[in-house]
Chain A
Amino acid sequence: MTNSIEEFEQADCIFIIGSNTSVAHPLIATRIYRAKKNGAKIIVADPRKVHISEIADIYVRQNMGTDVALLNGIMNVILSNGWHDQAFIDERTEEFEQFKKVVEAYPPEKAAEVCGVSAEDIRLIAECYGKAEKASIVYCMGITQHTTGVDNVKSLANLAMLTGSLGKESSGVNPLRGQNNVQGACDMGGLPNVLTAYQPVTSPAASEKFAKAWGVEKLSQKVGLTIPGMLEGLENDTVKALFVLGENPVVSDPDVHHVKKALEKAELLVVQDIFFTATAELADVVLPGVSFAEKDGTFSNTERRVSRVRRAVEPIGESRQDWQIIQDISNRFGYPMNYASPEDIFNEMTLLTPSYAGINYPRLEGDGIQWPCPTAEHPGTRFLHKDKIARGKGLFHAVGFLPPAEIIDQQYPFWLSTGRVFAHYHTGTMTRNSPTLDAEIAEGFLELNVDDAEKINVSNGEWVTISSRRGSIDVKAMLTKRIAQGSVFMPFHFIESCANILTNPAHDPICKIPELKVCAVNVVKRPLPA
C-alpha cells in the first residue's frame, strides 16, 4: 500500500475495484465503513455484487477481465472535463502524451460496449473520483490475477497520477496483500529476480555486496524461475528438485492436474509445513515446522508495517523451528550457517536491506515500524511518494484493452471466477482444521445466478457438474443474484471440490501471474449415477 490503513478514514473518495474487502480483509473494511460515516463517497466495481457494495454510493458490475476498458473510459471523462491535475502531471510524471493518446480512444460509450458498465455510470465514477480532494484506490487479486494483471495495475497508477491522488495523506494506490507475510516474503527476496528490498540479482553492485556479506565468491546474476517456470522445468526435466516451505501449490495453483503431474516428476520434493497438505502427500521428505504461535520473528503487513511475532507455546511433538531446519540443512549441505536466534538473522538482513536498515527488535516493541526506515532515528513511513515519486518521475503507461486468454463459447458458455469466503483462508490448511470456522462453512459451493439456474433446471443445494478445458468437478449450487447471469463463482479453499482443477494457467507475460479470475466453463445438473 502507498498509504496506511488508518488513512482510509479521512479519504473523500474510496474506489474499490477487484477486492472483496469485507470478506478477505475485514479490518480494512472497518476503516472504509468509518470513512463512509465520515462522509467519504464509496465506489465499488466488481463483477460480483460483493458484500461491501452494500455501502457503495456507486456500484458497477464490469464484465470479467475488462478493467482496462472501464478505467480508460473513466480517465477519458476526467480528461475531457478537465478534472485532471495538470500541475502534478507536469512536475511529477512523464510520458503523459502517449498515455493521453490511448485514453482518447476510449470515450465512455465505447468503453461501455466492452466493459458492460453504462456510459452514464462511467461518467459518475469519473466525476466522483476525479473531483475528490483525497481519493484512494483499493484493489486486490480481482485486478491482478489476469493475463493483463500488469496492465490493470498500470491503469490504476495512471488514474491516481492523472488526478494527483498520490503521495499525500489518504490519497494513493492501495493493493491489499492477501497473506499475512506476502509483503515480507517479497521484501526478503523471495522472488527470482531480486534480493532483499528489490535489489536486482542482475545488478553487479548488489550481487557483489551480497556475495561479500554471505562469504561466497560470487552469486548467480541470472534471473531465476517463477513457480510456473519451475513446474515447466520439472516437466521437461530441467528442474529435478523442489524445496517447498509452507506452501500448498496442489490446491492454490491453476490447473492442479497439471501441477500434480509436474510435482510427481521431481527427483526430490521436500515439503516443510505444519500440516500434512495435499502437496506433502507427494513429497519424498516432509519436515514438520512450527506455527506462528510457536515462533519468534516478524511479519510485514499490507501497509509495510513490520510487527513482532512472539513465541507463546512450545513446538508440537518433535516439530522444530523453521529457521533451524533450514540452517541444519545448509550446514549439512556444506554452506555453514550459525545463527543463534531469529533476531540474529534479522540483524544481518537489515545490514543488506536499505528499507529495513533502521529497524531492530527493540524498536519493534509497541506499534511496529513501516518501511522505508533507513536509519535508527527514522520514524518509518506512513505513505509513499511524498513530494516526489520514488522512481524520480511517475511513469504514465499507454495501455490498451486486451481480452482474457479464454473466452466463453458454445461448449463453455459461463465465465468462472474464484475467490475466498469469510470463514476460510487460502488452501484451508489452518481454517479447515479450526472447528468453529469449519462449522461456519464446511464445504465448497458454486454461486449460480437464479435465472441461469432456472434455465439449466437446478435448484438451490443441488449438485452440478462444472467443467473447463482442464478438468471437471462436482459441487453443490448456491443460487444467488450476487453473480451476474452468465457468470459463476467458486471459493478455492476446498480440495474436495477444488476450483483450481478448472482454472486457466495462462499468465501475464511480465509478472507471470495466472488468470485465476477468468476462464470459460460449462455447468450442468449432475447426471444421476447409472
Chain B
Amino acid sequence: MDYRTVLTTCTYCGCGCNFFLEVLDGKAIGTIPCKTSPVNEGKLCIKGWNVHEFIHNEKRLKRPLLRKNGRLEEVSWDEALDYTAARLKEIKEKSGPDSIGFLTSAKVTNEENYILQKFARAGVNTNNVDHCARL
C-alpha cells in the first residue's frame, strides 16, 4: 500500500485554497486542507472537500478523437496531432492568420496559458486570443 499526500492548489473558484491531495496506490481519495495556507487556513468548502471525486471518473477522456465520416473516432496521438497541425497550417495559408482563433483557459495553469498564447502569436501570428474571463 502506497499512501502519499501532495500539497497543491484547488481547481475551482478564484480563492485558490491549498490542500493536500491524499493519494492511495495512485488514486486520489481525499483532501486535507492546509492549515498554514494564508488563503484558507485549514478550511475548505464543499467543493474543495470533494475535489478528488471527478479525477478518476469513468467519463474522463482517455484517447484522442478525430471526426471521420461525420463521427468522432478514437485515433492515435500522432494522427490527431498531425491532423490538427496540418489543418491549422492549411487554413493559415489559405485564409490568413487572423482566420484562426484561440480560447485559452481560466482553468489551466499559467504555464499552459503562456505557451498557448505564444503559439497563437509567434507561431500562427494572430492576436485572436481570448478566454472566458467575462463569463
Contacts and interface: CB of A to CB of B under 8 A. Distances in A.
Interface of A: 4-6, 24-28, 30, 144-145, 176-193, 195-196, 201, 210-211, 214-216, 219-220, 222-227, 230, 233, 238-247, 249, 252-253, 267-268, 270, 273-276, 280, 283-289, 291-295, 297-303, 305-314, 316-320, 322-323, 325-330, 332-335, 337, 339, 342, 345-346, 348-349, 367-368, 422-425, 430-431, 433-437, 440, 511-514, 516
A275 B65 CA distance: 12
Contacts of A332: 81-82, 84-86
Interface residues of B, number: 100
A24 B85 contact: no
Top 10 closest pairs, chain A to chain B, by CB: A317-B62, A301-B16, A297-B109, A177-B14, A224-B127, A335-B123, A332-B85, A246-B105, A26-B45, A434-B53
B80 A287 contact: yes
B110 A181 contact: yes
Interface string B16-39: 111001010011100000001111
Contact of A184 (B13, B45, B103, B109): B109
A6 B38 CA distance: 7
B87 to A, nearest CB: 5
A287 B128 CA distance: 21
A214 B10 CA distance: 32
B1 interface: no
Interface in B107-132: 107-132
Which one of A240, A302, A332, A440 has the highest number of Cβ atoms from chain B below 10 Å of its Cβ? A240
A435 B21 contact: no
Contact of A227 (B77, B87, B98, B134): B134
Nearest to B6: A312
Given A246-B108, A337-B119, 9 more contacts: A180-B106, A220-B98, A224-B101, A292-B10, A307-B9, A330-B123, A335-B123, A434-B54, A437-B53
Contacts of A435: 53
Contacts, number: 436
Given A283-B72, A345-B111, A349-B114, A249 B121 contact: no
Given A284-B66, A307-B18, A312-B21, A182 B106 contact: yes
A190 B117 contact: yes
A244 B128 CA distance: 12
Contact of A224 (B37, B52, B88, B98): B98
Interface string B65-99: 11100001000010011111111110100110111
B9 A292 contact: yes
Nearest to A320: B77
B3 to A, nearest CB: 12
B73 to A, nearest CB: 10
Contacts of A230: 101, 103, 128, 130
A318 B80 CA distance: 13
